[in-house]
Amino acid sequence: MKRFAYLRPGNMEDAIAALQANDEPYLLAGGTDLLIAMKTKAVKPECLIDLKGIPGIDGIEYDNGFKIGALTTVRDIEVSPLIRQKIPVLSEAAGTLGSIQIRNRATIGGNLCHGSPAADMAAILLAMSCEVKIASDNGTKTMGLDSFFIGPNKTVLNRNEVLSQIIIPKEIEQFKGVYLKHGPRKAMDIGIVNIAILLDADAGSGFCNQIMIALGAVAPRPIRAKKAEALLNGNELNPAAIQKAAAAAANETNPITDFRASAGYRKDLVKNLVAKGIHQICESNNT
Amino acid sequence: MGSKHRIQITVNEEEYDLLVHPNRTLLDLLRYDLGLTGTKEGCDEGDCGACTVIVNRKVVTSCIVLAVEVDGATITTIEGMQKGDALHPIQQAFVDSGAVQCGFCTPGMILTTKALLDEFPDPSEDDIKHYLEGNLCRCTGYTKIIDAVNNAVQLLK
Amino acid sequence: MDNYSIVGKRIPHRDAMEKVKGSAVFTSDIKLSGMLHGKILRSPVPHAKIRNINISKAEKLKGVKAVFTAKDVPLIKFSISPTWADKLILANKKVRYIGDEIAAVVAVDEEIAEEALELIEVDLEELPAVFDPLEAVQPDAPLVHDGVEKNISKTLSMECGHIEEGFAEADIILEDTFQTQAQSHCSLETHCCIATCSPTDEVNMWVNSQAPHPLRQKLAAALNIDAAKIHITTPVIGGGFGSKIDLEPAQALCVLLAKKTGKPVKIEHSRKEQFIATRMRHPTISKLKFGVKRDGTIVAKQAEVVMDNGAYNSHGPAVLAYHNVMFSTLYRVKNIKYDGRLVYTNKNWGGACRGYGDPQTSFAQEVMLDMIAEELNMDPIDLRLKNANIPNEVTANAVQITSCGLKECLTQARDKSEWTAKKANRQKHRGLGVAAMIYTGGGSIGSGFNYSGATLQMNADGTFQLLMGALDIGQGSNTILTQMAAEIMGVDPVSISLTTADTDTTFPCMGTFGSRVTFCGGSAVTEAAQGLKKQLLESAAELLEANIEDLKMEEKTVFVKGSPDKALSYAEIGAASFYKKKKPLVAHGYYNGPDVPPEFNPVTYEGYPAPALVFGTHLAEVEVDPATGKVEVLNFVAAHDLGRAINPLLVEGQIEGGAAQGIGWALMENLQFENGEVVNPNFHDYKMLTIKDVPKISSLLVETVDPNGPFGAKGIGECAMVPTAPAIVNAIYDAVGVRIKDLPATTEKVFQGLKTQRSDQENST
């Protein structure tokens, strides 16, 4: 690794000021993506601003819904008893990221800000219709996570902005969810396709009150399959309808072919896994 | 650019007051500055687990942690496992179960097992696999590593 | 069964204690005072002429001690054999793959050395490159090595019996093509070397080599210095799997840079270097044709093989020969034809890799056998039993088999896996697959060398000192070799002090590869121990004034049978040998066998004098997810004829590890190239299996007690991954009817197979 300056501000104002004052600055959270990028010389920061010295941005709060500090580790999310109780699918998705060593360092905010289309936290949080809180020298603002991602490794954040919190709407707690990640291995994998589904359906009738489907690794950024959702919202969840929605979800993707998988396979996986995921939730509804 | 920073850390119950460059990883600090070479470098990208150490009771891959980030931390490396003459029961279980071949993954495996058993004293096989998923081993095929963890549970009871 | 007290016991690894403490010293852990750090500049392009190299900026960087290019090193080509030598320490005039060594820097620390690499200006004139071995043999293909026509490094043609007559006898003829991919060894410890060198070329080297004695010879030849001046020591070694046999340019550079600077120099590969610029498993394309009778008798088999050598030879020619000998020796087939070509391409080069060509040939042959069984509507195990080798036969390619437990492996694996019951009670998307194997169980004398030496000495206090040329790279030879010595001397193996693979003090050994250490090192150590036992008894007979035949050894004492008070302790005998008789008790053992008969063909390996042959069967049960193509290995049985298990605990470890490596190769391990560049040179994109991916492996140890093996033992190390991939691929076919003919059987390939199957079904209805 090349040499760089290291700053550890004690509050958000100082962090934002440092971000503006230094050349080629990078924010350091868990470092599990950033340090590797530095080692492979994909990025060459002149200055690292470590956010771990800022108090109050690394915890899980519950106040009419979850408010998760951006510096909360993925492991803390995985093992939080309250998250396991109220939105277990978030804990399950967290448990698929990297290894325990990585999850002990990686943060929810870092995973989002890295902007990888395959980020595990991105797909599941996108399906939860989360909002994110962004601090800047002009105060804080809140925006939908869907507007946060721009393209591969690119988010809306400007040079004077820091992601500080993820807000999960309380309504999500009545939904059931699945997170399906497809990769060659059962652990330590970057998903070839990641599927997050949250569904609020009537147990008996199978009527879909609302469904949210997010897809990872199949477009330049994590996306919501809104056409597929529209086909099911307010309708009965029968096999034909599910099949049609799954096909629609596949049509909403724009995957690449690379050494990990072909675009066509990725589309097929979206179709099959969206259908599989919805069926899985329906089955658990009926048992 | 990148002047040295002062850090104070406790490693294996020994206190250190050090000056480090920000680009020094915790792994290099342990191996080359403190001479604790039991911690191994297998990939330098956090993918193999050979450099696993315990920082404030949590396992991390020390190759992707900066030394400046652990100021104030309490760290356990493989050299800190054994207290007194006898091996730690986890170390003994790894020996007895045939879980050690080339031995390069072994320090990381043992430290991850330590963190596992501190958190789950009676783990299921799924718990073991979930906890050890980030420690790669090329020699054993893992069967005897799982045996070792189960044997360690018995020895610790 | 013979009644041994130490051989056959489950004794933990001798070195495990130091390894669990973190105190075992690996090469990279060594720090010498004043030590400098070297780094290598590698070619960024697959094929180019070097027009010019400007090192002036790099040399001026503070902390840099020397920068070397081709003009600073001997331009002597090397390989594993002088006949195949084609590689220089640093590229002169031309680079042939992405990773080829261009220059080396030595500096006070790694950071500065790395910075200096970026300051070296290399002017390259890119040449057209060739990556596909089938394109490389076309007349207009670019030449990787000038003068090597059609890029063919070696051609191998062999016919035994009469192939056309064989096919004429057949009721059914099947033909197909099978492909295998590059696999990286992935020992967790990367290559590392530390050297010092005096102005008069006295070299000290600490290196993680699997073959330190041959390394000394190769180093001596490449650097043009006397072998006796080179002292190689092997610290604890973090795995090899074949990757650490060759002379590495880094090792030669270490010596040259140490001489230039007068300081110790260390060069350690990064993981990326390990992936892009150390050896890998040779990819192969095998076109097979089999002729079979209705009763399952294979009457003729033919293979046309193209092996992708990469940019340089390394072990390539020998790997091709092994590919043939293993293809041709397995099963009792009278008519065999084999045509192989080893082809240069502008990619990283192949080398020795667990199985030495055998996993590649096993994949092709064993999937073909599955296809034949289906065609004949015959149980795949029955088909193999029908054609299985038997003890003491001479095969069509003139290979003498001694012990052979292939049939036992097949039947025991069948019983253990509940094959018959599960086949009768099929579950959806689940299937069983089987594959058999053959391999050498004691290295190879193909090159004329298969040596291993041992010296056992009794100390003045009656303890023992064993010096072995063979070395432990994690597989456990230190444990089993001392077990053998201890069994013969009647002592606790832990009490025998052991020195291994130190070129100044131990007898030479070819090294740890070829599943040879148990057999060859074991033969040496048993010879030494038997010799020392004889000396011990002779000495005791003289001191006790008794006949040797009347003496008995027990509890470190020699006594006259029937008169237990007429006894001498080992300590008394040891002391007498040193101080009274002035003739210390020391015995040597040295193996280099078997003898090479004049009929042996060193190109085709027809008439191959195998030290011992080992056999085995892998049997896999898998489940396939039709939604994704993902294959889960549910159960895995590995039965191996290993002569005798000197230490079942350690043998199981070899089998479990080998099978895991084989499952990885079967399903996902693949060193992938795009335009000559490795696109996955790291552990997140190169998929080595995690603890979650490996099923429990059930090992079955079939003990056939080989007449030539020490205590009847044969090797196991490499054998354990040979038939894994075909067993898995055959199980996938059994589960869902998708036949994978090119490895790895990725989820995508299985999925596409299912998709094609569905559309075929729709079209036919």
- Tell me: the pLDDT tens digits for C303-342? 999 999 999 999 999 999 999 999 999 999 999 999 999 9
Please tell me the number of Cα atoms within 13 Å of C371 on its side-chain side. 23
Torsion sign (Cα): C747, C750, C754, C756:
positive
Average pLDDT, chain C: 97
CA angle C349, B42, C98 (to 5 degrees): 25
End-to-end CA distance of chain B: 53
Q: Which of B104, B128, B144 sits opposite C238 (nearest CB)?
A: B104
Minimal Cα distance from C109: which residue of B? B32
User: How far, in Å, CA of A180 to CA of A200, rounded?
Assistant: 18
pLDDT at C764: 82
Task: Please tell me if residue C28 touches chain B, with a CB cutoff of 8 Å.
Answer: yes
Q: What tokens appear for C628 in the block? A: 């994704």
pLDDT at C161: 97
Put simply, the answer to whether A104 touches B21 (Cβ < 8 Å) is no
User: How far, in Å, CA of C675 to CA of C129, rounded?
Assistant: 9
- Per the document, the length of chain A is 287
C145: left (phi over 0), alpha (psi -120 to 50) or beta: beta
pLDDT at C1: 52
The answer on pLDDT for B154 being more than 80 is yes
Q: DSSP letters of C371-423?
A: HHHHHHT--HHHHHHHH---TT-B-TT-PBP-S--HHHHHHHHHHHHTHHHHH
End-to-end CA distance of chain C: 62
User: If you average pLDDT over residues B95-117, what whole number do you get?
Assistant: 98
Give A274's pLDDT tier (boundaries 50, 70, 90). Answer: very high
Residues 121-150 of B with CB under 8 A from A: 129-131, 133-135
Is residue C744 reached through a cis peptide bond, with omega within 30 degrees of 0 on the bond before it? yes
pLDDT tens per residue, range C656-694: 999 999 999 999 999 999 999 999 999 999 999 999 999
Q: Which of A31, A39, A101 sits opposite B134 (nearest CB)?
A: A101
C14, C20, C268, C665, best to mutate vs chain B, most B CBs in 10 Å: C20
Strand locations in chain A, DSSP E?
Answer: 5-7, 25-28, 47-50, 60-62, 66-69, 131-136, 139-144, 149-151, 154-155, 161-168, 176-182, 193-201, 208-216, 223-224
Q: Which of C16, C31, C657 sits opposite B94 (nearest CB)?
A: C16
Please tell me the distance in Å from C473's CA to the nearest CA on chain B.
6
The answer on pLDDT for B74 being more than 90 is yes
Put simply, the answer to whether C746 touches A187 (Cβ < 8 Å) is no
Whether the model clears a pTM of 0.95, i.e. scores above it, the answer is yes
C-alpha to C-alpha distances, A62 to A69, A228, B15, C29, nearest whole angstrom: 11, 31, 38, 48
Chains that touch A (3 or more CB pairs under 8 A): B, C
User: If you average pLDDT over residues C399-411, what whole number do you get?
Assistant: 98
User: If you average pLDDT over residues B105-115, what whole number do you get?
Assistant: 98
**Which percentage of chain A shows pLDDT scores above 90?**
96
pLDDT at A286: 77
CB atoms within 10 A of CB C128: 11
Q: What tokens appear for C463 in the block? A: 């303890």
Task: Please tell me if residue C3 touches chain A, with a CB cutoff of 8 Å.
Answer: no
From the list C184, C232, C225, C186, the residue with the least C-alpha distance to C209 is: C232
pLDDT at C447: 84
Q: What tokens appear for C136 in the block? A: 């490389």
Task: Please tell me if residue C33 touches chain B, with a CB cutoff of 8 Å.
Answer: no
pLDDT at B2: 62
User: How far, in Å, CA of B141 to CA of B157, rounded?
Assistant: 27
β-bridge mates for residue C54, sequence order = C121
pLDDT at C25: 98
pLDDT at C647: 98
Q: Which of A184, A187, A275 sits opposite C747 (nearest CB)?
A: A184
pLDDT at C564: 86
pLDDT tens per residue, range C277-294: 999 999 999 999 999 999
The answer on pLDDT for A134 being more than 60 is yes
Task: Please tell me if residue C62 touches chain A, with a CB cutoff of 8 Å.
Answer: no
pLDDT tens per residue, range C150-188: 999 999 999 999 999 999 999 999 999 999 999 999 999
The answer on pLDDT for A224 being more than 70 is yes
Minimal Cα distance from B62: which residue of A? A101
From the list C508, C465, C509, the residue with the least C-alpha distance to C485 is: C465
Q: Which residues of B44-55 are buried (b: 16+ CB within 10 A; e: fewer)?
A: bbbbbbbbbbbb
pLDDT tens per residue, range C343-357: 999 999 999 999 999
Task: Please tell me if residue B35 touches chain A, with a CB cutoff of 8 Å.
Answer: no
Q: B–C: how many Cβ contacts below 8 A?
A: 172
The answer on pLDDT for A262 being more than 90 is yes
Task: Please tell me if residue A37 touches chain C, with a CB cutoff of 8 Å.
Answer: no
Residues 670-689 of C with CB under 8 A from B: 682-684, 688
Give C763's pLDDT tier (boundaries 50, 70, 90). Answer: confident
User: If you average pLDDT over residues C635-641, what whole number do you get?
Assistant: 98
Tell me which chain C residues have a C-beta less than 8 angstroms from the C-beta of A95.
none
Q: Which of C630, C690, C746 sits opposite A188 (nearest CB)?
A: C690
The answer on pLDDT for C409 being more than 60 is yes
Put simply, the answer to whether B144 touches C22 (Cβ < 8 Å) is no
Task: Please tell me if residue C628 touches chain A, with a CB cutoff of 8 Å.
Answer: yes
Burial environment of residue C3 by CB neighbours within 10 A (0 to 12, 13 to 18, 19 or more): exposed
Q: Which of C12, C111, C691 sits opposite B95 (nearest CB)?
A: C12
